[in-house]
Amino acid sequence: MASTADLRARIDELCSAITHQKQILQDLEIAKSDVQSDLNSVLDPMARLPLEISSEIFMHCLPGDARPCPNAAPMLLTRVCRACNKLAISTPALWATIHIRTPCLGDLDELICSWLDRACTQPLSISLRGPLDPHVCCAVLENAHQVHTLELYLSSVDELTDVIITTPFPSLKRLTLGPDRRADGEPETYSTNADKCVAMLGAAPELVDCTLRDIHFGVNPSPHQLAGSQLRHSNLKHLNLAGRVSGGSGSVLILRSLTLPALEYLFISHLTIPHAEFLAFLTRSSPPLKSLEVVGISEGNAWSGNMAEMVFQLLPGLTDLDVGLFTPSQTSSFLEALAIGSPPRFLPNLANLTIDGSFLSRSQYEMLVNTLYARRSRVKTFRYRFGAFAQNLDNDILEFLQQLAADGSEIHIGQYSFV
């Protein structure tokens, strides 16, 4: 009969053999998986495509707002198979755009860092919405040199910190700043200082397009602070002061602080800029402005004939003009300025004109048709909107507008359309 020592030795021997066999089985499972992957690659049409085409197909899988979500591209592509994972991670363009809404569950800061690292040297497009997470903010600022598009939809005035404002964004081309949206879709109330926005523009010398949306400049800088915020930006071509951005004296403070010699497009809603301030901005900048949209001119800033003529004489290259005029007196003043200014010296290149105003009187219609006739060789599109109510046009006015349309102009007046 075997001794106790012999039995223990036999057990150890069997355990060793079992462990060895388990390792052999594990190795066989891995080998089988590798062979199966190789077979899948041979049978998979994607595997036979050039990498450039496969990468392009992956690019078309991206949603309009690429988010760090495991169930959407590009992250979803890394979970299809080993080959797709390798291809997705090695395609930097897939990771060049990211939309982040906070607060977010999970280890977001590590995910963001990994995402941006995969973008390698690609120009980055980053959108942040909601409370500003400090870790996310750090990840963005560490890659500031690569950011070409930055959208900040914040929920608190305090979130526009000095760190964000003063961080250089040497490659930034497009900046959007505004409040986050509430559950009903309306923007949150967002206030800040005009000098903070000017400072952000100063930190982005290559900026071409800037939108300041639904911002209320409730807290204005002191005259000393404002004097220190003067900025000449040589590359900015598009400036959009949309929504409530012009509340209070916001548009005054922004334009007073800027000189924009390259500006081609300017949008202002609810114009509260005194005439002298607007003229000073245009005189100082001498911009090659091609498109001007002014929606909602306050009664105190009515476009008198003299004012309009002075403004537009500084904008000889203007081709597109859209103005919102609400009162009959404002409408008359503006039409008068257009009528009395001869095309060679007053808006000589105007091609598209849109006016929001009130119903026109007979004399105003006569002034309008005379203006359109004098500019018929230039103005290709004219729109006059005065709300949902209908207004009958006299037959002679109708005939004249129909003739202009027959000559190639596109004219829309209220419910009438002449194409």
Residue ranges per domain, the chain? 180-285, 290-419
pTM score: 0.81
Mode of pairing for the β-strands spanning 258-259 and 265-271: unpaired
Beta strand spans in 89-236 (E): 97-101, 124-129, 147-154, 174-179, 209-213, 231-232
Residue 138 has pLDDT above 80, yes or no: yes
Structure tokens at 231: 């900025």
Dihedral in degrees, nearest 10, Cα atoms 339, 341, 345, 350: -30
Nearest to 159 by CA among 181, 127, 192: 192
Please give the C-alpha separations between residue 220 and each of 68, 112, 193, 258, 260, in angstroms, as whole numbers: 37, 35, 6, 16, 21
SS3 content of the chain, % helix, strand, coil (to 5): 45, 20, 35
- pLDDT at res. 365: 84
List, for residues 69-106, the tens digit of each pLDDT value.
778 889 888 888 777 888 899 899 999 999 888 776 56
d(CA 351, CA 362): 25
For the segment 31-65, what is each residue's pLDDT rounded down to a tens digit? 888 887 777 666 666 666 777 888 888 888 888 77
DSSP string, 303-335: --HHHHHHHHHT-TT--EEEEE--SHHHHHHHH
What's the token pair of residue 380?
Answer: 């290709």
What's the average model confidence in pLDDT over 203-232?
73
Residue 281 has pLDDT above 60, yes or no: yes
Angle (CA) 340-286-233 rounded to 5° is 145
Phi/psi for 380 (5° steps) reads -100, -30
Name the range with the highest mean pLDDT among 169-173, 309-313, 412-416: 169-173
What does the pLDDT look like over 287-312, one tens digit per residue?
Answer: 999 999 987 665 555 555 566 677 88
